Amino acid sequence: MNISTYRPLNRRRFLRGSGTMLALPWLEAMTPVFARTTKDQSGPTPRMGMFYFGTGMNMRQFYPEGFGKEARMSRILEPLEKHRDRFTVLSNTWIEHGGGHDGAYPFATAIAKGEKQQISPDQLAAEIHGKETRFPSLQFSVKRGTGFGSQALATISWNRQGVPLAAENDPKTIFDRLFRPTNAEQKARQSDEFRQRSSVLDAVLSDAKTMKKALSQTDRDQLEQYFNSVREVEKGLEREINWSEKAKPKPDLADYGNYQEAMSPEGNGKFIYEDYAKLMYDLIALAFQTDSTRAITYVVRTELAGGVYPEFGVSKGYHSLSHHGNDPKNLEDLAFVDTIYMKHWAYFLDRLQSIQDGAGTLLDHTMLGFSSGMGIGHSKTNLPTVLSGGGGLGINHQTHLQLRENTPLSSMWQTMIEKMGVEVSEGFQDSRGPISEILS
């Protein structure tokens, strides 16, 4: 074979080549992929997405005026007007350990930064649905990796060990993983590649075992992450082998952007956020449409860094703006930028609404919850929380719903995962129960 001529690395090629770069949830046991399991065949397939908009929003111009279905859209939410029956703005949500710039940590788990994390809601859903899709879950972000330790956390997904699951920010990389067909050369190489990966994993696992024997108890606990990770990668491999026989879906890309020429946000002069936002949201729609996965998290904006792009035409970064100091110009720019993000969100809802899924639309069968780790002025109250979609899953939208003061954000997550079929028997995070007002 002649794959061995000198070829320098290329990140995209690299990631395409092998393996699930995308994180895998922790599964008790791997069941045959195509075996339809516990799923109730009669109802629609539920999907869920969790979205993080770092550094809050200008909450002075966020909430609709009035409550209920007749509420008047605020300036920032105006772009969502035509979907008013398909979402609910939840006012009075809070995160006990949120506020400041540490809010991304407790966002999905209610666990403060610096403390041992727990499994996030998307991963609970993935434990149930992951067996039936090519990818148990996907992690998207504007920043790659986990960002763990810094305030600008890049992911909001955590596995059962409380380890953050790294996110991917490159639309082309994600697209290729989801849809790029395996070419002949790769196919020919595939069985060798699977075997090689598998034997390397076996070898390093046996290394870890010999190493473990020599370690002290505390060090063994550290090494546990290695064992767990290798096992997960093995399961991913197994899953990949199972799915390799089945061709990847070929979505109709007629009015979608060009993924092969997509730019990732990392320092390229040609990067345009508008295009990027659409590519990323469309990828989520495509992944759900093709049932490639049913749980996705997306850090649309991290804490502190970025958030504003040259084409927005404002002079400061999002973080600088959020330190508005009551300066009207800053507040105006902040609302302006927030509105841009909501226009993208409207685009996303349009897209999901335009896709037929069984008896309804994809939006009817997809629950999308977005919020932030802070409200305005780095507060932990008054978060910009909106639940969209899921009308066909029994979510009865109210447009604007006033919750009790300081209702934990986890209530929204609980509402969503229960609809995903996760059984919450002994309480969920700090939630006081699902949001009953929107359950029909």
- 21-80 positions binding other proteins, by CB under 8 A: 21-24
According to CB under 8 A, which residues from 125 to 144 bind other proteins? Answer: 144
Contact call for residue 6 and other proteins (CB under 8 A): yes
What single-letter DSSP state applies at residue 65?
A: B
Q: For other proteins, which is the closer residue by CB, 20 or 371?
A: 20
Q: For every residue of 282-335, which 3-state class applies, written as one string? A: HHHHHHHHCCCCCEEEEEEECCCCCCCCHHHCCCCCHHHHHCCCCCHHHHHHHH
Q: For other proteins, which is the closer residue by CB, 159 or 385?
A: 159
**Cα dist from 64 to 226, 398, 401, whole Å:** 48, 12, 10
Measured over the CA atoms of residue 320, residue 322, residue 328 and residue 334, the dihedral's sign is: positive
- Least distance from other proteins to the Cβ atom of residue 129, Å: 18
Q: For other proteins, which is the closer residue by CB, 317 or 421?
A: 317
- Least distance from other proteins to the Cβ atom of residue 201, Å: 8
According to CB under 8 A, which residues from 81 to 100 bind other proteins? Answer: 96, 99-100
Contact call for residue 114 and other proteins (CB under 8 A): yes
What single-letter DSSP state applies at residue 68?
A: S
Length reported for the chain: 440
| Calculated CA dihedral for residues 49, 429, 227, 130, nearest 10 degrees | -30
Answer whether 322's CB lies under 8 Å from 378's CB: yes
Contact call for residue 202 and other proteins (CB under 8 A): yes
Among 257, 320, 360, 394, binds other proteins (CB under 8 A): 320
Among 44, 249, 257, 317, binds other proteins (CB under 8 A): 317
Torsion-angle region of 170 (φ positive above 0: left; ψ -120 to 50: alpha; else: beta):
beta
- Least distance from other proteins to the Cβ atom of residue 72, Å: 28
Contact call for residue 257 and other proteins (CB under 8 A): no
Q: Could you tell me which stretch among 54-62, 145-153, 341-349, 411-419 binds other proteins (CB under 8 A)?
A: 145-153
According to CB under 8 A, which residues from 323 to 342 bind other proteins? Answer: 323, 325-327
Between CA 354 and CA 377 the distance in angstroms is: 37
Among 41, 183, 218, 440, binds other proteins (CB under 8 A): 218
Among 247, 267, 404, 423, binds other proteins (CB under 8 A): 267
Q: For other proteins, which is the closer residue by CB, 88 or 157?
A: 157
- Least distance from other proteins to the Cβ atom of residue 4, Å: 3
Contact call for residue 183 and other proteins (CB under 8 A): no
The half-sphere exposure of 27 on its side-chain side, counting CA atoms within 13 A, is 27
According to CB under 8 A, which residues from 148 to 167 bind other proteins? Answer: 148-151, 154, 159, 163-166
Residue at 255: amino acid letter: D
Q: Could you tell me which stretch among 67-75, 83-91, 146-154, 282-290 binds other proteins (CB under 8 A)?
A: 146-154
Quote the Cα angle for 318-321-325, to 5°: 155
Contact call for residue 253 and other proteins (CB under 8 A): no
According to CB under 8 A, which residues from 295 to 314 bind other proteins? Answer: 304-305
Q: How many CB atoms lie within 10 A of CB 157?
A: 30
Answer whether 86's CB lies under 8 Å from 388's CB: yes
